[in-house]
Amino acid sequence: MGREIKIAPSILSADLTNLGDAIRILNDGKADLVHLDVMDGHFVPNITFGPAFAKELKVVSKIPFDTHLMVSHPMQYGPKFAESSDWLTFHIEADDNPQDTIKLFKDLGVKVGISVNPGTPFSAIKEFVPELDLILIMTVEPGFGGQKCMTQHFSKLTEARELVEELGQDTEIMVDGGVTEHNVAEVVKAGATMFVAGSAVFRGARGPVEEIKVLKENALKGLE
């Protein structure tokens, strides 16, 4: 049975003076999701977008919003971002009560994901997988776009794939950090069903629409 592979361009790497246009380009460019990197300057050493900003951008988008909360207090900020999100992901490292956060987010009507940092083993989120719509495996330290992919963490994609299949679920498995046209087949082969691409989409020489096309084509090679 064929897995569907989805691309989530991260607008963190887009022209920040023109984010409305970046979203319009993704609308036309066959992106599957818009990946919104939310950073609080505490969980990670960088600050990005707030909830009011996300709401404005969402109005322009015809594509579902996939919000990646890199914040220390997901319970506090999650509800504010849920209004503009279709998928909402928090970090296991930032949360002492993941069960409560999952429930809160679900009650808000969004699809729920948990992310693990490069230094966190997949086993840290294993017990929550039955309740998750998305598992997000980081292959860079969160905080900045344009970093090199830490390929040694691809094995977590396989761990996630095996567990999801064992449970008979359709939980999405997403990879975030340094994905390019050269390694995207490998992440799909390892088990990913969704991939984030920031600089590969917005900083590539061919322009976002063409870069998305190439990334998707190459991603499918991982299923062969």
Binding site for ligand DX5 (CB under 6 A): 10, 12-13, 35, 37, 68, 140, 142-147, 176-179, 196-200
Closer Cβ to Zn ion, 27 or 147, answer by number: 147
Stretch 168-187: interaction string toward Zn ion, x if CB under 5 A: --------x-----------
Of the candidates 77, 80, 143, 123, the residue with the CA atom closest to the CA atom of residue 90: 77
- SS3 state of residue 198: coil
Alpha carbon separation from 156 to 44, 111, 116, 124 (Å, rounded): 22, 21, 10, 11
What is the 8-class DSSP label of residue 59? H
Closer Cβ to ligand DX5, 12 or 110, answer by number: 12
Closer Cβ to ligand DX5, 47 or 52, answer by number: 47
Please tell me whether residue 91 binds Zn ion under the rule CB under 5 A.
no
User: Are 91 and 69 a contacting pair, CB within 8 Å?
Assistant: yes
Closer Cβ to ligand DX5, 64 or 146, answer by number: 146
Residue 179 token pair: 């994905």
Question: Least distance (Å) from ligand DX5 to the CB of residue 97?
Answer: 23
Question: Least distance (Å) from Zn ion to the CB of residue 96?
Answer: 22
32 is catalytic: no
Question: Least distance (Å) from Zn ion to the CB of residue 176?
Answer: 4
31 binds, among Zn ion, ligand DX5, none (CB under 5 to 8 A by kind): none
Question: Least distance (Å) from ligand DX5 to the CB of residue 6?
Answer: 14
Number of chain positions touching Zn ion (CB under 5 A): 3
Closer Cβ to ligand DX5, 68 or 111, answer by number: 68
Residue 63 CA, distance from chain mean position: 14
**Segments of the chain assigned E as strands:** 6-9, 34-39, 65-70, 87-91, 111-116, 134-138, 172-176, 194-197
Of the candidates 171, 173, 168, the residue with the CA atom closest to the CA atom of residue 188: 173
User: Are 89 and 69 a contacting pair, CB within 8 Å?
Assistant: yes
176 is catalytic: yes
Annotated catalytic residue: which of 37, 40, 66, 133?
A: 37
Interface ranges with Zn ion (CB under 5 A): 37, 68, 176
Hey, which residues are catalytic here? 37, 176
